[in-house]
């Protein structure tokens, strides 16, 4: 590493670490002074977020497009702003109910005592957000943490500097930094952020970086929620109408040019319908983006490094004999740092497109003979963040649901389980730890404190020494009612 580069990284970490420590100390002190913010104060925080989002839709869309090279304003509105607003408004509407202590049954032999779970703020929550949906995946967990009564520190991705700067400025103007603060900086600042002794840390990103974040958090025994990724399958059952299901698959794959953690990563189709499936997905893609070579509706790849990685995946599969179908002209799209939708028909099992999460507009399509074969193929790999099943055979559908493990599932469509705020969103195994969205988000950033309210009429003294015959009678009675 050149000396000047090493000096820059050292300065970045040093400056970032000082700022992180300063704000963390400020927020920790503010939390200790008011460890249980009122309902009204939490609502005020959510209202600030709603106003910030609504007033700056165009600003965010412009910044995101600048970071990507191109992303449609409409795509940003649909995939970030509307989903985000829905979640924040649901939190506001539901907050009073979420904050209530929850009674739980008390066993007969402990009556007339009462038992409750009392939601309590954790303290200072850290959020490390990714580049692919840089507003939604930053502010959605922040809203949940604020609803739960916490202070929030956010470290957005260095790969979206325009969006990060906009977010920093808007949040700084709307919130006191003792409530919600943004830390901008590079990889070294991110490392220092992950090592901060937060009361909870949420990270969204790749599995490889998630492992490093978890290791850094473990130094302080900081609990983590890791929203990662993996190879999410789309299963086309023999009972499916190919013409009807492929538009959902094409849309789920091409939204944000496939740079979506729950995008379909590969398709399993009946062998006798493999060509029909590929042709139908290609036709659906052309219908969605009829001017794909020139339209601003189709998103660019985030960076040269990711662009090169995706092109190398395609070339390796081609060199190893996979059939390639491209929707769009590579000659026209590559100068825009865009890729055609690239269908890779039956690639080798050890090809990069089948071993790595793709995170781009490349879609392997593989022949799979039966529901059992599809289940076996999925279970050979790591547990995916999402699973999609298409068809009309309810028995086959239920076998897939029961015999595979994934973070979430959408049946006969793609992506929608993420937008349903009443469903927890999260992974399992290497696709993630923990979940949020809706009530699950409130609970992720709360301590559900168990409280036992003993009655003044309690007879618990009967169990105290000295142990006499009277105790034996008491124990005999308890055994009968347990």
The Cα–Cα gap between 194 and 188 comes to: 10
The Cα–Cα gap between 189 and 473 comes to: 65
Question: Which of the following is catalytic: 75, 179, 195, 261?
Answer: 261
User: Could you tell me where the DSSP H helices lie in 241-387?
Assistant: 242-254, 274-288, 304-319, 330-333, 352-355, 371-380
Closest CA to 134 of 187, 181, 76, 174: 76
469 is catalytic: no
- Bridge-based pairing of strands 323-327 and 341-345 is antiparallel
Closest CA to 234 of 122, 67, 358, 420: 358
First to last CA, the chain: 68
User: Could you tell me where the DSSP H helices lie in 69-206?
Assistant: 73-76, 83-99, 136-147, 161-174, 187-194
Nearest-10 crossing angle of helices 39-55, 57-68 = 60
Question: Which of the following is catalytic: 75, 227, 357, 382?
Answer: 227
Q: Is the peptide bond before 92 cis (omega within 30 degrees of 0)?
A: no
Burial class (CB in 10 A: 0-12, 13-18, 19+), 152: buried
The Cα–Cα gap between 63 and 163 comes to: 5
DSSP letters for 173-193: HHS-TTTEEE----HHHHHHH
227 is catalytic: yes
The Cα–Cα gap between 469 and 449 comes to: 37
The Cα–Cα gap between 263 and 386 comes to: 8
Closest CA to 424 of 403, 398, 442: 442
Please answer whether residues 219 and 250 qualify as being in contact, where contact means their C-beta atoms are separated by less than 8 angstroms: no
Question: Which residues are identified as catalytic?
Answer: 227, 261
């Amino acid at each position: 590493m050149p000396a000047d580069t090493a000096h820059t990284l050292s300065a970045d970490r040093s400056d970032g670490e000082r700022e992180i420590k300063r704000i963390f100390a400020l927020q920790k002190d503010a939390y200790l002074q008011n460890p249980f913010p009122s309902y009204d104060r939490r609502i005020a925080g959510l209202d600030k977020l709603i106003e910030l989002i609504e007033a700056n839709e165009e600003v965010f869309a412009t910044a995101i497009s600048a970071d990507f090279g191109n992303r449609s304003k409409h795509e940003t509105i649909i995939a970030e702003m509307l989903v985000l607003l829905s979640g924040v408004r649901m939190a506001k509407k539901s907050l009073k109910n979420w904050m209530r202590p929850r009674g739980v049954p008390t066993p007969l032999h402990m009556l007339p005592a009462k038992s409750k779970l009392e939601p309590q703020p954790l303290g200072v929550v850290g959020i490390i957000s990714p580049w692919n949906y840089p507003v939604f995946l930053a502010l959605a967990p922040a809203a949940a943490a604020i609803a739960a009564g916490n202070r929030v520190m956010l470290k957005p991705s260095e790969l979206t500097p325009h969006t990060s700067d906009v977010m920093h400025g808007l949040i700084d103007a709307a919130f006191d930094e003792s409530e919600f603060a943004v830390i901008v900086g590079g990889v070294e600042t991110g490392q220092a952020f992950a090592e901060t002794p937060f009361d909870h840390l949420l990270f969204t990103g790749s599995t490889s970086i998630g492992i490093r974040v978890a290791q850094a958090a473990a130094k302080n025994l900081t609990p983590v929620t890791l929203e990662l990724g993996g190879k999410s399958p789309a299963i086309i059952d023999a009972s499916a109408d190919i013409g009807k299901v492929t538009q959902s698959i094409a849309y789920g794959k091409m939204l944000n040019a496939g740079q979506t953690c729950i995008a379909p990563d590969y398709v399993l189709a009946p062998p006798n319908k493999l060509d029909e499936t590929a042709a139908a997905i290609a036709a659906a893609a052309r219908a969605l983006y009829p001017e794909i070579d020139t339209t601003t509706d189709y998103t660019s790849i985030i960076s040269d490094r990711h662009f090169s990685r995706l092109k190398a995946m395609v070339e390796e599969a081609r060199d190893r004999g996979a059939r390639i179908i491209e929707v769009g002209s590579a000659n026209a799209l590559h100068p825009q740092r865009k890729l055609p939708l690239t269908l890779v028909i039956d690639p080798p099992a050890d090809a990069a497109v089948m071993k790595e999460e793709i995170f781009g507009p490349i879609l392997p399509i593989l022949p799979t003979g039966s529901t059992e074969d599809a289940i076996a193929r999925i279970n050979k790999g790591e547990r995916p963040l999402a699973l999609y099943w298409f068809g009309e055979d309810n028995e086959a559908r239920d076998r897939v649901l029961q015999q595979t493990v994934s973070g979430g599932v959408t049946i006969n469509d793609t992506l929608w389980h993420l937008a349903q705020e009443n469903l927890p969103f999260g992974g399992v195994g290497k696709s993630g730890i923990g979940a949020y969205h809706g009530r699950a988000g409130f609970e992720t950033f709360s301590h559900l404190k168990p409280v036992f309210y003993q009655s003044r009429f309690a007879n618990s003294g009967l169990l105290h020494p000295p142990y006499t015959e009277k105790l034996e009678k008491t124990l005999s009675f308890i055994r009968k009612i347990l």
